[in-house]
C-alpha cells in the first residue's frame, strides 16, 4: 500500500472523513477522479504524473459536497485552489482535509496553518510550457495574435468544460448564461466566443491559481488557460499579489493603491 492509500484508509477507518477524493485508473491509460467512501476502496487511489485534474472543484459541487467531509488528494495546484477557495469564503477550516502530495510523500493538512506552511515551502510556479507559449504569443505582431485567437475561437463550441474544470468557476449562475440582459450570444460564434472567454478571463483576474486545467479540459485543445494564466502573471507583476497562498489574501481586482500604475491614462 502506498502512503497515500494508507493515509486515506486510516482517515476513513477512523471516521474522520466520509470520502477520500483522489485519482484512480481510468480507461485507455488515463486517470479519473475517484471517490472512495470505504476503507477497502482506498487501494484504488493513485498519484503520478498523469494526475493533474484539479480536485478542488469537488469540494463544493453539490453532488460531491453531499457526500460529507472529504480528504482531498492535492498536488500543489489543488492545494492553491483549496487555499484560494478559503480566501474567497467558499470553504472553511475543518470542512476538509488536504492530503498534500509530492511524489510518494503525503502531508496530512487538517488546519489552514499546516496548508499555508506547506504551500510556502512548495513555492509554486506557473507551468513552464504555459509561460513559454505566452511568451511566444506576446512576441507576435498584433495582427498575428488576432489571427491566432480568432482561429482558436472559431473552434470553441461552448461546451463549458473549461468552466466546469476550473476550481474557481463556482458561481451557480454564470454571466454567459444570463439572458436578461443577454450579454453573450448563446450560439458558438467567433465574436460571442471571444466575449465569453474575455469575460471569463476578467472574472478570474486576481483569482486564477494557474493550474491550467481549463485548457487541459478543452475537448478541442484550445489553450484557453493561456488567457487566465497570462492575467495571473500580470496581476503578480503589476500588483505583487499572490493567489492561493494564504487564507487572508484579497483579490487584486477588489483593492487598490492610490499610486497604482496608470501610464496609459491621459
Answer yes or no whether residue 150 interacts with another protein by CB under 8 A: yes
Answer yes or no whether residue 127 interacts with ligand SF4 by CB under 6 A: no
Backbone angles phi, psi at 107, to 5 degrees: -115, 120
DSSP 66: T
Label the pairing between strands 70-74 and 31-36.
Answer: unpaired
CB 105 within 8 A of CB 75: no
Least CB distance to another protein at residue 80 (A)? 20
Q: Which stretch binds ligand SF4 (CB under 6 A): 66-74, 106-114, 115-123, 151-159?
A: 151-159
CB 52 within 8 A of CB 70: no
CB 114 within 8 A of CB 93: no
Of residues 168 through 187, those in contact with ligand SF4 by CB under 6 A are 168
Picking from 218, 264, 261, 219, the residue whose alpha carbon sits closest to that of residue 240 is 261
Answer yes or no whether residue 211 interacts with another protein by CB under 8 A: no
Q: List Cβ neighbours of 179 (8 Å cut-off, separation of 6 or more).
A: none
Answer yes or no whether residue 230 interacts with another protein by CB under 8 A: yes
Of residues 164 through 203, those in contact with another protein by CB under 8 A are 175, 183, 189-191, 194-195, 198-199, 201-202
CB 80 within 8 A of CB 243: yes
Least CB distance to another protein at residue 180 (A)? 15
DSSP 57: G
Options 32, 92, 136, 145; binder of another protein; rule CB under 8 A: 145
CB 190 within 8 A of CB 157: no
Least CB distance to ligand SF4 at residue 263 (A)? 27
Choose the contact partner of 40 out of ligand SF4, another protein, none; CB within 5 to 8 A by kind.
Answer: none
Nearer to ligand SF4, 161 or 194 (CB): 161
- d(CA 121, CA 228) in angstroms, rounded, equals 25
| Residue the block writes with cell 439572458 | 179
Q: Which three cell numbers stand for residue 9?
A: 484508509
Nearer to ligand SF4, 19 or 168 (CB): 168
Least CB distance to ligand SF4 at residue 3 (A)? 27
- d(CA 186, CA 182) in angstroms, rounded, equals 9
Nearer to ligand SF4, 42 or 224 (CB): 224
Least CB distance to another protein at residue 194 (A)? 6
For residue 193, count other CB atoms closer than 10 A to its CB: 24
Answer yes or no whether residue 252 interacts with ligand SF4 by CB under 6 A: no
Q: List Cβ neighbours of 173 (8 Å cut-off, separation of 6 or more).
A: none
Q: Which stretch binds ligand SF4 (CB under 6 A): 114-122, 170-178, 203-211, 257-265?
A: 203-211
Query: x/- string (CB under 8 A) for another protein, residues 91-130?
Result: ----------------------------------------
**Positions in the binding site for ligand SF4 (CB under 6 A):** 156-162, 165-168, 204, 208-214, 217-218, 220, 222, 224-225, 228-229
Amino acid at each position: 500500500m502506498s502512503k497515500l492509500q494508507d493515509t486515506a484508509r486510516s482517515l476513513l477507518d477512523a471516521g474522520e472523513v466520509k470520502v477520500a477524493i483522489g485519482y484512480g485508473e481510468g480507461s485507455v491509460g488515463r486517470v479519473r477522479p475517484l471517490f472512495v467512501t470505504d476503507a477497502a476502496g482506498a487501494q484504488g487511489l493513485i498519484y503520478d504524473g498523469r494526475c493533474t485534474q484539479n480536485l478542488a472543484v469537488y469540494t463544493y459541487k453539490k453532488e460531491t459536497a453531499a457526500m460529507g467531509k472529504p480528504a482531498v488528494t492535492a498536488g500543489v495546484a489543488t492545494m492553491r485552489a483549496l487555499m484560494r477557495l478559503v480566501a474567497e469564503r467558499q470553504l472553511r477550516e475543518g470542512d476538509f482535509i488536504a492530503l498534500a502530495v509530492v511524489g510518494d510523500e503525503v502531508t496530512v493538512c487538517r488546519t489552514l496553518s499546516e496548508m499555508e506552511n506547506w504551500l510556502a515551502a512548495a513555492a509554486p510556479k506557473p507551468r513552464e510550457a504555459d509561460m513559454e507559449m505566452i511568451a511566444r504569443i506576446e512576441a507576435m505582431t498584433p495582427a498575428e495574435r488576432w489571427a491566432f485567437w480568432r482561429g482558436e475561437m472559431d473552434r470553441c463550441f461552448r461546451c463549458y468544460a473549461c468552466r466546469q474544470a476550473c476550481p474557481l468557476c463556482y458561481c451557480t449562475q454564470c454571466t454567459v448564461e444570463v439572458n436578461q440582459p443577454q450579454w453573450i450570444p448563446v450560439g458558438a460564434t467567433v465574436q460571442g466566443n471571444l466575449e465569453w472567454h474575455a469575460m471569463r478571463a476578467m472574472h478570474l483576474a486576481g483569482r486564477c491559481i494557474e493550474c491550467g486545467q481549463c485548457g487541459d479540459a478543452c475537448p478541442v485543445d484550445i489553450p484557453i488557460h493561456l488567457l487566465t494564466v497570462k492575467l495571473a502573471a500580470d496581476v503578480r507583476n503589476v500588483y505583487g499579489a499572490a493567489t492561493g497562498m494564504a487564507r487572508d489574501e484579497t483579490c487584486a481586482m477588489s483593492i487598490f493603491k492610490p499610486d497604482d500604475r496608470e501610464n496609459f491614462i491621459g
